[in-house]
């Protein structure tokens, strides 16, 4: 058996943010409250909440959330006796005012996200977060699209802007454990701050990759109850708590209480458990953003084309998170190819 000393690992619970992707950003105040209370009771140190794409992202193109950012934060804050409340923001969707409002509403951890090669866009917002006196983090999206040294360089930039924790999101669920080890090791050795890893299960590797990340030096691991999240879902809180306990890491999360929180999620947040279905597997294989799952399925059905082909086309176009406008373009390309392949009646 693999064991390690009592190294501390933070399980950053993104259920009420990444899990929104699975329900079209439609969580109610009652759902948010019930889960936040269960997660807090399980000893989870951070509960992230918001639109699936973060502060300010609710829109017609990306998907309107049922609640405003303020409503979500106000619902969750009173339920957290010991956990800190976290928010996620990507410059472009979110703004400085969104961050100010979130911190005023009680957010204690603010994540500023950027495409994996564009940490420079986080500078101003990280400075603001530090000025506001709460924890500033940076995560790089679509991290399979950049090499370890490049990611380490980008993370070092974020640290120079004030990020107190930096790391990567496997937004397409495309990384393999060896890829994760190389990336996290490079970031850990280049920066002196805790390294974050956020996995997706599109290729069945969310837990394996998260464990590889921790063993390579990551100290903050994103989890969602039952794995609820974009694509085939995230790293399940209750499973990761058990695996880290087995390895001797300290998370402060009780496995039985995490199982109870997962049960609350199953009963109140989800229509179905996240699954590695053909769309998510091809999404992982082609390296396409997991959050495109529902919009691609809808657009492909409407146009009568194979969603797997749309994912393959988006992979060829190297579509990244935020480029939802490429979905109709890819659908058209697939439809045209299909039309060309059909026999012509004389």
**Known binding-site residue numbers:** 17-18, 171, 198, 200
The stretch among 48-56, 149-157, 188-196, 259-267 that binds its own copies (CB under 8 A) is: 259-267
* Token representation of residue 297: 């399925």
Using an 8 Å Cβ cutoff, are 219 and 182 in contact? no
Q: Is 200 exposed, middle or buried (0-12, 13-18, 19+ CB in 10 A)?
A: buried
Binder to its own copies among 121, 132, 276, 297 (CB under 8 A)?
276
- Region class of 233: left (phi > 0), else alpha (psi between -120 and 50), else beta: left
Binding-site residue positions for Mn(2+) = 18, 198, 200
Count CB-CB contacts under 10 A for residue 150: 16
Task: Kindly write out the interface string for residues 203-242 of this chain, putting x where it contacts its own copies by CB under 8 A and - elsewhere.
Answer: xxxxxxx-xx--x-----------x-------xx-xxx-x
Query: CB of 213: closest distance to its own copies in angstroms?
Result: 12
Using an 8 Å Cβ cutoff, are 331 and 304 in contact? no
| Angle formed by the axes of helices 237-247 and 206-215, nearest 10° | 40
- Contact between 322 and its own copies by CB under 8 A: the answer reads no
**Residue with token string 């794995």:** 227
Cβ-based nearer residue to its own copies, 259 or 297:
259
Half-sphere exposure of 64 (CA within 13 A, CB side): 2
The residue count for binding its own copies (CB under 8 A) is 42
- Catalytic one of 21, 51, 115, 125: 21
Binder to its own copies among 284, 307, 315, 322 (CB under 8 A)?
284
**Residue with token string 């392949």:** 341
Cβ-based nearer residue to its own copies, 163 or 270:
270
Binder to its own copies among 24, 92, 96, 177 (CB under 8 A)?
177
| C-alpha Rg value of the chain to the nearest Å | 19
- Contact between 338 and its own copies by CB under 8 A: the answer reads no
- Contact between 178 and its own copies by CB under 8 A: the answer reads yes
Best CA proximity match to 265, nearest among 253, 274, 276: 274
- Contact between 246 and its own copies by CB under 8 A: the answer reads yes
Binder to its own copies among 39, 262, 288, 321 (CB under 8 A)?
262
Q: Within 116-145, which residues bind its own copies (CB under 8 A)? A: 144
Cβ-based nearer residue to its own copies, 128 or 223:
223
Cβ-based nearer residue to its own copies, 78 or 178:
178
The stretch among 22-30, 39-47, 52-60, 253-261 that binds its own copies (CB under 8 A) is: 253-261
Q: Within 187-206, which residues bind its own copies (CB under 8 A)? A: 203-206
Query: CB of 175: closest distance to its own copies in angstroms?
Result: 8
Distance between CA atoms of 141 and 137, rounded to whole angstroms?
A: 13
Query: 177-180: long-range contacts (C-beta < 8 A, 24 or more apart)?
Result: 177/205, 177/208, 177/209, 177/211, 177/212, 178/212, 179/144, 180/209, 180/212, 180/213, 180/216
List beta partners, residue 86: 48, 109
Q: Is 12 a known active-site residue? A: no
Interface ranges with its own copies (CB under 8 A): 1-2, 144, 176-179, 203-209, 211-212, 215, 227, 235-236, 238-240, 242-243, 245-247, 255-256, 259, 262-263, 273, 275-276, 278, 281-282, 284-285, 308
Catalytic residues: 21
């Amino acid at each position: 058996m693999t064991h390690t000393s009592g190294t501390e690992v933070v399980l950053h619970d993104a259920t009420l943010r990444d899990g929104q992707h699975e329900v079209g950003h439609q969580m109610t105040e009652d759902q948010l409250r019930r889960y936040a209370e269960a997660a807090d009771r399980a000893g989870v140190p951070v509960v992230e909440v918001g639109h699936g794409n973060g502060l300010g992202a609710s829109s017609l193109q990306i998907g309107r959330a049922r609640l405003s950012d303020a409503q979500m934060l106000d619902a969750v804050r009173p339920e957290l006796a010991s956990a800190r409340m976290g928010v996620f923001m990507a410059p472009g969707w979110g703004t400085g005012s969104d961050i100010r409002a979130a911190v005023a509403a009680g957010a204690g951890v603010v994540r500023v996200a950027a495409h994996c090669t564009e940490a420079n866009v986080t500078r101003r917002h990280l400075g603001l977060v530090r000025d506001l006196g709460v924890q500033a983090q940076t995560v790089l999206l679509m991290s399979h699209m950049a090499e370890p040294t490049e990611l380490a360089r980008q993370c070092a930039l974020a640290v120079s802007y004030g990020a107190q924790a930096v790391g990567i999101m496997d937004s397409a669920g495309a990384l393999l454990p060896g890829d994760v080890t190389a990336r996290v090791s490079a970031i850990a050795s280049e920066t002196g701050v805790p390294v974050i890893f956020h996995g997706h299960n599109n290729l069945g590797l969310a837990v394996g990759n998260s464990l590889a990340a921790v063993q390579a030096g990551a100290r903050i691991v994103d989890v969602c109850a039952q794995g609820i999240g974009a694509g085939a879902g995230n790293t399940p809180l209750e499973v990761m708590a058990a695996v880290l306990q087995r390895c001797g890491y300290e998370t402060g999360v009780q496995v039985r209480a995490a199982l109870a929180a997962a049960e609350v999620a199953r009963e109140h947040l989800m229509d179905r458990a996240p699954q590695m279905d053909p769309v998510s597997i091809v999404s992982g294989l082609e390296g396409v953003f997991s959050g495109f799952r529902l919009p691609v399925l809808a657009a492909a059905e409407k146009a009568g084309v194979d969603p797997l082909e749309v994912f393959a086309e988006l992979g060829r176009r190297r579509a990244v998170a935020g480029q939802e406008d490429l979905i109709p373009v890819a659908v058209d390309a697939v439809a045209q190819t299909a039309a060309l392949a059909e026999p012509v009646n004389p």
